[in-house]
Amino acid sequence: MRRPILVTAALLTLGLTAFSPSSVAPPLAHYLTPLPADPNTTDEPVEDHKIIIYQMMVRLFGNQQTVNKPHGTLAENGVGKFNDITDKALQEIKKLGASHVWYTGVLEHATMTDYSKFGISLDDADVVKGRAGSPYAVKDYYDVSPDLAVNVPKRMQEFEALVKRTHANGLKVFIDFIPNHVARSYKSDAKPAGVVDLGEKDDKTKAFAPNNNFYYLPGKAFVVPKGADPLGPAAKGPKEDGKYLEMPAKATGNDVFSEAPSINDWYETVKLNYGVDYQNGRKLHLDPIPDTWLKMRDILLFWAQKDVDGFRCDMAEMVPVEFWAWVIPEIKKAKPGILFMGEAYNNKEYRTYLERGKFDYLYDKVGLYDGLRRLMTGGGKIEDINYVWSQESRGFSSHMLRFLENHDEQRIASKDFAGDTKPAIPAMTVSATLGSGPVMLYFGQEVGEPGRGAEGFSSEDGRTTIFDYWGVPEHQKWMNGGAFDGGKLSLQQKQLRDFYGRLLNLCASSEALRKGRFYELQDANNLAKEYDDKKLYSFLRFTDKQRLLVVANFSPTQTYVPTLKVPDAAWKLMGLDPLRNQFIYTDVLNGRAGSTSARVTLPPFSAVILEIEPKK
């Protein structure tokens, strides 16, 4: 978020791992690899973490309505349901190459839709962003969104059925865990017996207390931001009067310790207290273990019991690393193999959150994503890719999640980004194959969804809304009335989806891409007349059994026909002798026949992946 089963007594009394900041496990030795003698490669021991994640906003994924009225209600614009994610839909996602599905927006969150007849309190529009509401303003950690159920009283059973259906189709499940903040209206109606709600026992006379769940501004009432107009000038939401009552005011989710957050703050959320006294030099109060830690551990255990396979942890760096160092091992004791993927933006803290925090994966946003985006839009430098593998994520690249789209980022095909799907071909090829870590695709990316329209609270910003009820037009063409067969796609869209499928399935099946070493070929080719090292990027991925040569062309206009050179050092590392053998180069990405020459034709915005095999 950067934009505006019951828990048993045994679980609730789970013995706590002894913890203090000084008892954190030492750094993993393989993260501290020395710089290699050859600057074109690393000595990083490669680990196979090549999972393929398909992210979908559940509210939008299965919606077949096409009205798309700005600020439209659920009745007007429709909403996707858990049940819309059918066996056929899951089979097609699996065929695309996915191994995991990240179901985004599952937890119950604040909304302007009235579910009071089902015992769910109506939210105040003064602190809800958009008609549907942000899925990152959680209202009940122990429940799922009623929007997503066909039968609202049976909503949890419908989610549980989706998890079983996903597993039956050979896919695993991620859901969101939002640890840093909750909706201002947070109140759990579905919490298991014996669970004390967040804030229920807080001492509200204190700005900070180690066992308070929230931060307070004693004596001050919350002030709705000036300009807050969640449904625009033509409509009013429920209870919308600019007078939301919160006394004393709580600190706002994006670390705003004021009773009057601005319109640009996360004013619909409140910050959770993990034992950090922000207003006194961020002093830590971690012994005894803070109450918020215990509550969040129990929430994670609750969902682990629902058989989810992993958590995408929202704004992980806004929560102290000491909490993650304690809670992730606690959850993995209860469910070994469960995965934790952190949304992270501070590249100086990546190592900390992997080593001390015990995360399995972190976002590679400010490094690879940002660098590729610049290249896709005519700026940037090829050297930015080199910087990522050689410095920024050196030693732990297998733990970095690579992507070109997600719910926070602009769509590639939008006018705000590339305005076209073609630049995704070289960029996604590099993103997916540069390392052995996870790769992610956002629903609709594979058919060139451009994110057009001002949906309501979400403006015309190149993103697919997370705040509004909406139909996603290009994705709906693939959905084809629930057939999920791409029947309404154009030829160009079918070709784009085919590219993603070929690339992701290659990533899933290739030993070299899953666990091969890396060797950059820029230095070996940069003096060649046919090789433009400002627009072309090439590298090897290899094991003893498979050798691949990846080349991407980021030029929007130029076709290159280089004969690719592999230096002697790289041949030696691959265990091959070019003086004694001839080789066949087969393009396994594009399905082109093999050749005894490493001469390739690279049209604008293209990529090839050549498998190198000794000629028999």
Listed residue (298, 291, 289, 295) closest to 325, CA to CA: 289
pLDDT at 8 over 80: no
What pLDDT, on a 0 to 100 scale, did the predictor assign at position 126?
Answer: 98
Cα 267 to chain centroid distance, Å, stands at: 23
Main-chain dihedrals φ then ψ at residue 550, nearest 5 degrees:
-105, 130
Residue 537, classed as helix, strand or coil, is strand
What pLDDT, on a 0 to 100 scale, did the predictor assign at position 1?
Answer: 67
Q: Which residue has the tokens 């020395």?
A: 34
Q: CA–CA separation, 237 vs 357, rounded Å? A: 41
DSSP letters spanning 148-183: G-SSGGGHHHHHHHHHHHHHHTT-EEEEEE--SEEE
Structure tokens at 469: 């009820």
Q: Are 162 and 103 in contact (CB under 8 A)?
A: yes
Q: CA–CA separation, 614 vs 584, rounded Å? A: 6
Whole-Å CA distances, 389 to 33, 365, 368, 438: 13, 13, 9, 15
Written as one letter, the residue type at 240 is E
Q: CA–CA separation, 456 vs 194, rounded Å? A: 40
Please, what is the average pLDDT of the chain? 94
Q: CA–CA separation, 122 vs 548, rounded Å? A: 57
Query: pLDDT tens digits for 191-204?
Result: 999 999 999 999 99
Q: Which residue has the tokens 């050689």?
A: 390
Query: pLDDT tens digits for 258-291?
Result: 999 999 999 999 999 999 999 999 999 999 999 9
Q: Are 277 and 208 in contact (CB under 8 A)?
A: yes
Q: CA–CA separation, 381 vs 535, rounded Å? A: 8
pLDDT at 613 over 50: yes
First-residue to last-residue Cα distance in the chain: 54
Residue 515, classed as helix, strand or coil, is helix
Q: What percent of the chain has pLDDT over 90?
A: 92
pLDDT at 133 over 80: yes
Cα 153 to chain centroid distance, Å, stands at: 30
Q: Are 565 and 547 in contact (CB under 8 A)?
A: no
Q: Which residue has the tokens 């929430």?
A: 299
Query: pLDDT tens digits for 378-398?
Result: 999 999 999 999 999 999 999
Burial class (CB in 10 A: 0-12, 13-18, 19+), 491: exposed
pTM of the model: 0.94
Structure tokens at 369: 């994503």
Range 447-461 average pLDDT:
96
- Check if CATH label 2.60.40.1180 holds for domain 516-614: yes
pLDDT at 24 over 50: no
The CA angle 339-186-123, to the nearest 5 degrees, is 120
What pLDDT, on a 0 to 100 scale, did the predictor assign at position 35?
Answer: 53
Other CB atoms within 10 Å distance of the CB of residue 591? 8
Query: pLDDT tens digits for 330-385?
Result: 999 999 999 999 999 999 999 999 999 999 999 999 999 999 999 999 999 999 99
Cα 120 to chain centroid distance, Å, stands at: 29
52-113+124-183+288-509: CATH architecture: Alpha-Beta Barrel (3.20)
* Annotated domain spans of the chain: 52-113+124-183+288-509, 516-614
Biggest distance spanned by C-alpha atoms of the chain? 83
Q: CA–CA separation, 106 vs 166, rounded Å? A: 15
Range 501-528 average pLDDT:
98
Number of residues written out for the chain: 616
Written as one letter, the residue type at 218 is P
Place 4 in a pLDDT band, splitting at 50, 70 and 90. very low
Range 514-535 average pLDDT:
97
